[in-house]
Chains A and B, each alone.
Chain A
Amino acid sequence: MLETIIELLKEAGTDGWEVTDTRTQGWEFYFIRHQLDQNRVRNVEHINVSVYKKFDSFLGKASTEIPVTASREEAVDLIGKLCAEALLVKNPVYTLNMPAEISAETQTMPDVRAIAKDFLNVMNELPESGTADINSYELFISAKEVRFMNSNGIDVTSVYPSSMAEVVVNARNEKHEIELYRLYHSGSCDKEGLKQEISETLKYGADRLSAQNTPNLGSCDVVFSTDASLQIYEFFIDRMNTGMKYRQLSSWELGKPVAEDVKGDRITVKALRSLANSSSNSAYDAEGAPVRDLVLINDGTAEHWWGSRQFSQYMGVEDSFIPGNFAAEGGTRSAEELRQGTFLEIVEFSDFQVETMTGAIAGEIRLGYYHNNGTVTVVTGGSVSGTMMDFMKEMYMSREQKQYNNMLVPAVTRLKGVSITGAAD
């Protein structure tokens, strides 16, 4: 089907086209406790097509997926529709990516069976006990082959593994049973890392059994030491996106500090070409641009935008790309130093969110540790709120870093003066 689509696109009278052909071989396993609930295989191919048409001073684009089972007539019809629909889209002119020479890498199709075996073995080697164990888990392992082509002659292929493990942990005492939820993403299976993460979650589960209602703390420093911290760093990354800036949703300016009157650590954020065992190590982005290392925010000052070809060109950035991996550098203090004084360390939220546009943070506390004058109280319930626009003025990041799939971030992040609503009066 792919060859037919390319042939039809060349004949369609477009002013540009892009095709992404993604083939996925996926293995999935679903367990209740340690019993197999279901096994699944995915063997699919998706061909996504974009057509560009120039008219007046505009460049219009229309997209669709053309089913791999489409007949030639169906494909002709779909491409014809795209050509007509592109003329409805009045966007300022921009150009598609051109072929770029980068050092060739040897790519081999990932061994789905071997990765699956690693996951299955890890799940059988966890330190479960009578008080904390695994309720259920779902394993998703896939090998992806992504080929990108455009009318400028780009024809590049990336092959990589992509995995996900959803794990639900239970802990119980004579009174009740609780659960904690985790979703891990990676390239292949990081056996030791996954074992360590789930072991830590089992410990948190046991702690939650003794949790008390979070008190009304009013304003309190909050320490983030789990994947919730990713939301904080994604706030910085997303506000450096050319699409956000072009649409006036980010007020940051290159060469200027992202926050004034900063008393805490100044943030440095980079885009990275690759990160060990990330599921986003493709050498090219979704539009065929080569991916490279790039400093986005340097010591608190906005340095480079990143983003799609369209919005980057509108912003005057010619060599931009959509990175797959990011890193936030550590600060000046150790994780231990950041855990001094009075603070609330929250290790489990219902759903912690940071709004990119406004900076508003919100999340219900499922498990936290309130440290006050040397005493530690395990707490649950209540919520955090406030805005990153204030918090980034006094934010501290540990020297130590921790990797979550495609993000390398400080292992511990401390925000000052977060509003805490308690779970009880």
Chain B
Amino acid sequence: MKAAFSDYLNTIAPAVKELIELLGNHYDYVSVLSTDSVGFSAMISQRAKSVSNSTMFTERGNVVRVQKNGLYSEYAFNEFDTGNVRALAEEIRVALNAQLDLLAETGAEIYATDVLPDEPAQVFAEMETGTMPEDTDLQKLVEELSAISDEAVHSCEIAVDCMVRGQSTHVSKMFLTKNRDMRQSYVYSEGMIAPIVMKNGKNEMSYASVSGRRGPELFAGLRDKLAEAVKAAEEVIDAEPIVPGEYEIITSPEVSGLIAHEAFGHGVEMDMFVKNRALGKEYIGRRVGSDLVTMHEGALCVEEVASYAFDDEGTPAGDTVEIKNGILQTGVCDALSALRLGTKPTGNGKRQSFENKVYTRMTNTVFDSGTDTLEDMIASVKYGYLLEGMKSGMEDPKHWGIQCIVERGLEIRDGKLTGKVVAPIVMTGYVPDLLGSITMASTDREVFGSGACGKGHKEWVKVSDGGPYLKAKARLG
């Protein structure tokens, strides 16, 4: 079925167009992004349960972007009297002018930027979904999630709890300018199982997830992840600390995705090029990885939680090949940064919500598959680890350092898994060294979208990432 576009946004569209016309008398560029996203979240554990009709990304509101004398300004609001648009337009002008007065008083110079192009565009995209969050039988879902939690605890002697979450968001966004009318609607869902085990007074937790640009029907796949999540928790509780050093590693698709995201996701967000904050700017056309490294980024490159028709600046979604056979091709770019850099936007201008500024942000970031089998990859390792389970990562585009915190490492000696598990693991290194050391890549590939990505330590947006199993060398601690 099609994910129906918001009735509310259709209702306010004429007033938004009137607002654009009124502000157009005073500014050289005017756009409005209006959002109306709904959803639900159900969290079940043995000791506490919760249901909410909100997720991290449900919202309803508007943001006006204007440009005058080279300066871009924005006004975000959610109270909207569509019967008195003239008063709203005046309120916006007064508020922004008050800021300009202060900026003049404090002697601020302007980073002058051209007027964004406004070629005519009409988009109406209602994307396919199985079911809608609004139509979900929450009673049935709560019962199913509860049953999974119960089964996890009963299947494992040392399990003290198991958190199970299902959340689904129906996004509706409308981007209007004088010449553009772009409307899109889609649904994405995320499910998670997190068993908690206790042994000798020590707690550990593992998790497994499902995600996709699909409706709540996706949660049917959670039960298939149960055994995997419980086994991982049992492995971690008995794990030993790793002896720090450089090892041969095989990264699971989830860890490969984390590397893609931290290494050359953030590293080629081109608003960082504008600020001279990313080393990638100097490496376009140069080798940054082995021949086996080809990486795509874009809302169109896979169908996952960050797959949309257009971004928050009205730029159509793209599929950018960032690295091809180890050579850095290009970055991804929001519309304002593209103007400043003299390049084309790639459909990566995203906001956390209507209240937040646009930055260049990742969507779906994935390594291409290779030709090897996991069995052959393990057989090729003399001494190293198969790394599984992603905990967190941090970017460092200026210096190409990388930090990935991985849940566990399965020891490999002489081409065989020994059964020994080490945890947790901090993987660090220099990005070109890490990507340059990749010597094998598996034929299969998985993409994961159950988390959110920050820029620095704020501005959270939905992303997905993934890849095949990769064999490389890295420093583990």
Residues of A within 8 A of B (CB): 26-32, 34-46, 48, 60-65, 67-69, 78, 81-82, 85-86, 88-91, 113, 116-117, 120-121, 124, 135-136, 164, 166, 168, 170, 177-179, 181, 183, 216, 218, 243, 246-249, 251, 310-311, 350-351, 353, 355, 357-358, 360, 362-364, 366, 381-386, 389, 419-423, 425
CB distance from B182 to the nearest CB of A (A): 21
One of A69, A216, A248 near B79 (C-beta < 8 A): A69
B111 touches A35 (CB 8 A): yes
- Chain A residues with Cβ below 8 Å from B60 are 67, 69
A69 touches B78 (CB 8 A): yes
Given A44-B77, A68-B79, A117-B102, decide whether A425 and B52 contact each other with a Cβ distance below 8 A: no
Given A36-B111, A62-B51, A69-B78, decide whether A181 and B456 contact each other with a Cβ distance below 8 A: yes
Q: A43-B75, A124-B107, A385-B244 are in contact. List 17 more A-B contacts (CB 8 A).
A: A26-B355, A30-B357, A35-B110, A41-B73, A61-B51, A62-B52, A63-B53, A120-B102, A120-B106, A124-B106, A166-B458, A168-B275, A181-B456, A216-B245, A248-B161, A249-B196, A362-B426
From B58, B201, B245, B394, name the one whose CB has the most chain A CB atoms within 10 angstroms: B394
CB distance from A181 to the nearest CB of B (A): 6
A177–B241 Cα distance when bound, in Å, is: 35
A88–B105 Cα distance when bound, in Å, is: 57
- Chain A residues with Cβ below 8 Å from B50 are 61, 63, 89
CB distance from A348 to the nearest CB of B (A): 11
A183 touches B138 (CB 8 A): no
B87 within 8 A of A: no
- Chain A residues with Cβ below 8 Å from B54 are 48, 63-65
A363 touches B80 (CB 8 A): no
One of A27, A121, A419, A425 near B99 (C-beta < 8 A): A27
CB distance from B176 to the nearest CB of A (A): 17
One of B244, B274, B458 near A419 (C-beta < 8 A): B244
CB distance from B457 to the nearest CB of A (A): 5
Q: CB-nearest residue of chain A relative to B424?
A: A360
- Chain B residues with Cβ below 8 Å from A120 are 102-103, 106, 108
A41 touches B396 (CB 8 A): no
A–B complex contacts, Cβ < 8 Å, 7 sampled: A40-B73, A46-B78, A61-B51, A62-B53, A135-B276, A246-B47, A425-B246
Given A120-B108, A168-B277, A350-B396, decide whether A67 and B477 contact each other with a Cβ distance below 8 A: no
One of B53, B205, B277, B396 near A85 (C-beta < 8 A): B53
Interface residues of B in 36-78 (CB under 8 A from A): 36, 45, 47-54, 58, 60-61, 71-78
Given A35-B110, A44-B61, A82-B53, decide whether A135 and B277 contact each other with a Cβ distance below 8 A: yes
A63–B398 Cα distance when bound, in Å, is: 42
- Chain A residues with Cβ below 8 Å from B76 are 40-44
- Chain A residues with Cβ below 8 Å from B73 are 38-41
Q: CB-nearest residue of chain A relative to B47?
A: A247
CB distance from A381 to the nearest CB of B (A): 7
One of B203, B245, B426 near A248 (C-beta < 8 A): B203
Q: CB-nearest residue of chain A relative to B457?
A: A183
B401 within 8 A of A: yes
B399 within 8 A of A: yes
Q: CB-nearest residue of chain A relative to B98?
A: A113
- Chain B residues with Cβ below 8 Å from A26 are 355
Residues of B within 8 A of A (CB): 8, 36, 45, 47-54, 58, 60-61, 71-80, 91-92, 95-96, 98-100, 102-103, 105-111, 138-139, 142, 160-161, 196, 198, 201-205, 241, 244-246, 274-277, 355, 357, 392, 394-396, 398-399, 401-403, 405, 424, 426, 428, 456-458, 475-477
CB distance from A355 to the nearest CB of B (A): 8
A26–B78 Cα distance when bound, in Å, is: 13
B428 touches A358 (CB 8 A): no
CB distance from A340 to the nearest CB of B (A): 26
Q: CB-nearest residue of chain A relative to B60?
A: A67
A364 touches B456 (CB 8 A): no
CB distance from A33 to the nearest CB of B (A): 8
- Chain B residues with Cβ below 8 Å from A364 are 394, 396, 401-403, 426, 428
CB distance from B401 to the nearest CB of A (A): 6
A181–B477 Cα distance when bound, in Å, is: 24
CB distance from A418 to the nearest CB of B (A): 11
The list of the 6 closest CB pairs from A to B, nearest first, reads: A421-B477, A64-B53, A421-B244, A364-B403, A351-B394, A35-B111
CB distance from B55 to the nearest CB of A (A): 10
- Chain B residues with Cβ below 8 Å from A310 are 48
A38–B399 Cα distance when bound, in Å, is: 26
Q: CB-nearest residue of chain A relative to B103?
A: A36
A51–B456 Cα distance when bound, in Å, is: 36
- Chain A residues with Cβ below 8 Å from B396 are 350, 364, 366
Q: CB-nearest residue of chain A relative to B242?
A: A385
Q: CB-nearest residue of chain A relative to B140?
A: A88
CB distance from A5 to the nearest CB of B (A): 14
Given A34-B109, A247-B48, decide whether A40 and B74 contact each other with a Cβ distance below 8 A: yes
Q: CB-nearest residue of chain A relative to B39?
A: A64
- Chain B residues with Cβ below 8 Å from A43 are 75-77, 79, 91, 95
A358–B204 Cα distance when bound, in Å, is: 6
CB distance from A57 to the nearest CB of B (A): 14
From A42, A48, A61, name the one whose CB has the most chain B CB atoms within 10 angstroms: A42
A31–B59 Cα distance when bound, in Å, is: 27
Q: CB-nearest residue of chain B relative to A355?
A: B424
Given A37-B111, A350-B396, decide whether A136 and B74 contact each other with a Cβ distance below 8 A: no
Q: CB-nearest residue of chain A relative to B358?
A: A38
A317–B270 Cα distance when bound, in Å, is: 52
CB distance from A19 to the nearest CB of B (A): 14
- Chain B residues with Cβ below 8 Å from A382 are 428, 475, 477
- Chain B residues with Cβ below 8 Å from A32 are 111, 274-275
A42 touches B106 (CB 8 A): no
- Chain B residues with Cβ below 8 Å from A366 are 396, 399, 401
Given A38-B72, A90-B49, A113-B98, decide whether A28 and B401 contact each other with a Cβ distance below 8 A: no
One of A31, A62, A357, A381 near B203 (C-beta < 8 A): A357
- Chain B residues with Cβ below 8 Å from A81 are 53
One of B79, B100, B198, B245 near A45 (C-beta < 8 A): B79
- Chain A residues with Cβ below 8 Å from B457 are 183, 351
